[in-house]
Amino acid sequence: MNDYESQLKQLIINHFIRIKQQIIYQQKNKSKKIKLRVLLFKKKSKQRKSYFEKRIIILRQYQQPSKSKLQMGRKRRAMKAKLDQFLEYIHSSEEKMTQEQYLQLVREKVKQFSKKDLKQIQTNYILEKICEVCNDYHHDEQLLLCDYCDDAYHSFCLNPPLKEIPDEEEDWFCPVCVEQKYQMEKEKRSSGGRRSNSKVQKLLEQFNFKNQRDVAQKIQICGKCDDMILYMENEGVIEESEKCIKCNKMYHKECFSKKKESILCNSCQTLIKKQIPTDQKLIEDYFIRGQQESLGNKPYEQDDKKSDKKNKATQDSKKMINENKKEKQDDESDDEILDVDALKEMENMRQTRGRRAKLLQEKEQKEQKQSQKTDKSTKVEQQTRITRQRTQEKIDKLNDQYINDSNKTVNSVLAKKRKKNDSTEFISNKTQINDDSLTQPLAINQKSSSSSSYYNDDCESNMSTTYSSTSNETQAKNTTAPINSKGGVKFLLPVPSSNPIVNLECKQSLIYALKAKNIQFCDDLCYTQQCPKQSNNANLEPNLQVIDLANSIIFQKFKEMSRQGIYAPVVVEEDKIQGFIVRAMDDIKAKTLICEYVGEVDYARNHIFNKNDSIMDLLRTARSKTSLVIVPDKKGNLARFLSGINNTSKKSMAKQNVHSVRFNINGESRVILYAKRNIKKGELLYYDYNAGGFGEYPTQNFV
Ligand SMILES: C[S@@+](CC[C@H](N)C(=O)[O-])C[C@H]1O[C@@H](n2cnc3c(N)ncnc32)[C@H](O)[C@@H]1O
């Protein structure tokens, strides 16, 4: 090759470098690809910086270098050495002409080259490897070549700049390819994960990901805007994002929810809200149906009845051994009969009152409907309010009557008992309470239960209760503690808010939370074939406190209410840190029953490694084989939403306003939550998850 020829060739090549810069710009500017790229490089926010860097890293981590690409790399390095000499020569020749002369010469000569020729030059000399960002070929030691598309990028031109040049063995992918991969993943997801789109399929194959699922997991797509979220499970959150507890989708923080404290995404919120009944009757139905579905018509129901009998038999025999006094036994059996009679009487009264109350309610509803039809003006609203008030007054009267009557019955029973038993102590689990009466829902409305406050007061003044001295401190595993036996506790029935709107809100909030957690409402312990009712034998835990008669009656009454979703005036709210929380909507008196901790009962040994944070101890026996827990995963009530105190912080411990206590009720262990002290309106409800004193529940990070 003579001097002229070689010089010309060099000039052409040199020219090509420059011309290509313009061509690429002109061509690519039109294309989506370049638009996307420009857009990406413009993102300069701090967040976006790491966003980009991490994306590259992610791909680098998950794509294995292919052999052919490495070979290409080696070839390229050899060519690069040649090129360095070549460029040096060109630069020296450039100096000999003016820029104008040079360009003109090149332009003329380039015209003589066909496209093919140009490509030839390109491939032969690989001179076209200019930075896709600055369009310069200098600083080639920092020019990274994409292992997928072969485009070049200065490490310092990347946004953010790459601090370290990746190892040669390591693959590196340019931002555009990463973006393409992302688009591809996006498409894959929007097509429901199916590879219906052939283009997507093709791209996937091109990328040759060995573990596509792995990559897809690393790159999360925002459930709302479909844009990428950087999220690496094992390395923590890279970009500020939120995960919806219902649909488990990831969202950018700003895309998540309009409501500040929400832990559910906007779409799940709307979906659940649509499912929540607004009508009082339908709300009642929800609770009753949930209760029935959770417990009803199960094959083990018959076993339960048998086991009940068995349980009672064991109890009786144990008592016989322990007491060893025939006379006393006879007396107590008399008491049992008395108690059962009294309960039956109360039940009859309750049913009559319930029926009458229902009739009145129906009448009121009819009146309301009629008035709504005729006129929707405020006058009607006033009328409705007056009618409601009147009905309520009537129902209150009925309730008062019922309460007085029932109190009289209870008092007479207690008086007889006291007469017979000089010692103030009596073992109340001998009082056989008809369990069926517990399962029958009571047809009362909210207000009727609110008037039970009188009942509460009466109970407190009239029912003298002392506890069995056997109530030694029972060390419950995590969440339940022995009751403070000093003076005993007289439970109070909850008084729902007098404001019907608040009442409605309380119930609806509970339904919302249950639906969000996919939990079916149930207010009783649910046994299974694997863990039937007889496995909950409270006698296996000798120190478990036996509930006394008075409390047992109040508890029964309470269950009739709670099975219909009637609790103390509390609302379930959402909290970014704690998840669901429970707040008092009205003042709650100390000793008021809050709820029973319920859910599916299972052997504790099956849940040693269960990470569920709502598992509650039910029975702590000497043998781990027979210990039981409550798992409120699928079935549950308000109890599972109450917060816990931080056992390591005095300030947090002072917040405790609820006690959790396990009782032996008819030979069955049950967990009862009740107000530890007077709770003020607006307070959050807290109890000690480690009341047993074992500190097994990790609360050190609790707020
Ligand atoms: C029994 S659940 C309580 C209900 C739970 N908040 C929910 O949304 O399902 C226990 C979990 O609630 C959260 N939690 C309860 N009390 C808390 C507190 N004081 N501070 C922070 N998180 C708390 C913790 O995540 C704990 O593991």
CA 578–ligand 1 middle distance (angstroms): 5
Name 203's bridge partners. none
For the stretch 134-148, what's the b/e string if a residue is b when 16 or more beta carbons lie within 10 angstroms of its beta carbon? eeebeebebbbbbbb
Tell whether ligand 1 has an atom less than 6 A from the beta carbon of residue 653: no
Is residue 254 very low, low, confident or very high in pLDDT (cuts 50, 70, 90)? confident
Q: What is the DSSP string of 602-666?
A: EEGGGGTT---TT-EEEE--SSGGG-EEEETTSEE-GGGG-EE--TT-HHHHTT--EEEEEEEET
Ligand 1 pocket test: which of 617, 699, 702, 703 has the largest number of ligand atoms within 8 Å of its C-beta?
Answer: 702
Nearest CA to ligand 1 atom 23: 578
- The Å distance, Cα 615 to ligand 1 centre, comes to 12
Quick one: three-class SS letters along 211-232? Answer: CHHHHHHHEEECCCCCCEEEEE
Mean pLDDT of 540-559: 91
Phi-psi map region of 75: left, alpha, beta (phi>0 left; psi -120 to 50 alpha): alpha
Residue 613 CA, ligand 1 centroid: distance in Å: 8
Q: Is the CB of 697 under 6 A from ligand 1?
A: no
Residues 6+ apart with CB under 8 A from 604: 477, 617, 624, 627, 628, 629
Query: Which domains does the chain show, CATH number per domain?
Result: 3-179 (3.30.40.10), 180-258 (no CATH), 276-687 (2.170.270.10)
- Which runs of consecutive H residues, i.e. helices, occur in 226-300? 253-256, 266-275, 280-295
The answer, yes or no, to whether any atom of ligand 1 lies below 6 A from the CB of 612, is no
Q: How far is the CA of 644 from the centre of ligand 1 (A)?
A: 7
Q: Is the CB of 500 under 6 A from ligand 1?
A: no
Q: What is the pLDDT of residues 459-487, one digit of tens each?
A: 333 332 222 233 333 333 354 544 444 45
User: Is the shortest distance between the CB of 703 and ligand 1 below 6 Å?
Assistant: yes
Looking at 212-221, 227-236, 451-460, which range is the least confident one?
A: 451-460
CA distance 273 to 515: 10
> Is 550's pLDDT higher than 70?
yes
Whether 692 lines ligand 1, by a CB cut-off of 6 Å, is: no
Per-residue pLDDT band for 700 (boundaries 50, 70, 90) equals: confident
Are the CB atoms for 558 and 475 separated by under 8 Å?
no
Cβ–ligand 1 contact at 512 (below 6 Å): no
pLDDT, tens digit, for every residue of 298-313? 433 434 444 444 445 4
Residue 248 C-alpha to ligand 1 middle, in angstroms?
18
Least confident of 195-199, 279-283, 323-327, 517-521: 195-199
Backbone dihedral region for residue 667 (phi beyond 0: left; psi -120 to 50: alpha; all else: beta): left
Return d(Cα 42, Cα 676) in angstroms, integer. Answer: 59
Q: Quick one: pLDDT at residue 605?
A: 86
- Residue 292: its pLDDT value, please? 84
Measured in Å, residue 649 CA sits from the centre of ligand 1 at 16
- CA–centroid distance, 118 to ligand 1, in Å, is 68
Q: Among candidates 444, 167, 144, 425, which has minimal Cα distance to 284?
A: 444
Which structure tokens are listed for 299?
A: 């094959």
How far does residue 539's CA lie from ligand 1's centre (Å)? Answer: 31
Helix (H) or strand (E) run with residue 111 in it: helix 99-112
Confidence of residue 165 (pLDDT cuts 50, 70, 90): confident
Determine whether the shortest distance from the Cβ of 702 to ligand 1 is under 6 A: yes
In the structure encoding, which two tokens stand for residue 206, read together? 């091109």
Q: Pick the residue with more confidence: 150 or 301?
A: 150
Distance (Å, whole) CA 605 – CA 174: 52
* Best mutation site among 643, 645, 684 for ligand 1 pocket (most ligand atoms within 8 Å of CB): 643
Does ligand 1 come within 6 angstroms of the Cβ of 644? yes
**Contact present, 206 and 181 (Cβ < 8 Å):** no
Binding site membership of 614 for ligand 1 (Cβ less than 6 Å): yes
Calpha distance 229→215 (Å, rounded): 13
**Pairing assessment for the beta strands 579-584 and 570-575 based on DSSP bridges:** antiparallel
Ligand 1 neighbour 577 (Cβ under 6 A): yes
Q: How far apart are CA 675 and CA 490, in angstroms?
A: 11
14 lines ligand 1 (CB under 6 A): no
Q: Read off the tokens for 57.
A: 């890293």
For the CA of 263, the nearest atom of ligand 1? 8
- The residue whose CA is least distant from atom 1 of ligand 1 is 614
Between the CA of 640 and the centroid of ligand 1 the distance, in Å, is: 9
Q: Report pLDDT digits (tens) over 97-149.
A: 555 555 565 556 556 555 555 555 554 443 446 677 776 666 767 778 777 77
Answer whether 254 contacts ligand 1 (Cβ < 6 A): no
**Pocket test residue of 578, 633, 653, 703 for ligand 1, highest count of atoms within 8 A of CB:** 578
Listed residue (692, 695, 479) closest to 596, CA to CA: 479
CA of 669 to the centre of ligand 1 (A): 24
Percent of the chain with pLDDT over 70: 45
Nearest residue (by CA) to ligand 1, atom 3, is: 641
Cα(689) to ligand 1 centroid in Å equals 10
Give me the mean pLDDT over the 658-684 stretch.
94
The amino acid present at 459, given as its one-letter code, is: C
Q: What is the pLDDT of residue 685?
A: 96
Residue 601 is predicted with a pLDDT of 95
**Nearest atom within ligand 1 for CA of residue 652:** 19
687 lines ligand 1 (CB under 6 A): no
Ligand 1 proximity of 578 Cβ (cutoff 6 Å): yes
- Give percent of the chain with pLDDT exceeding 90: 22
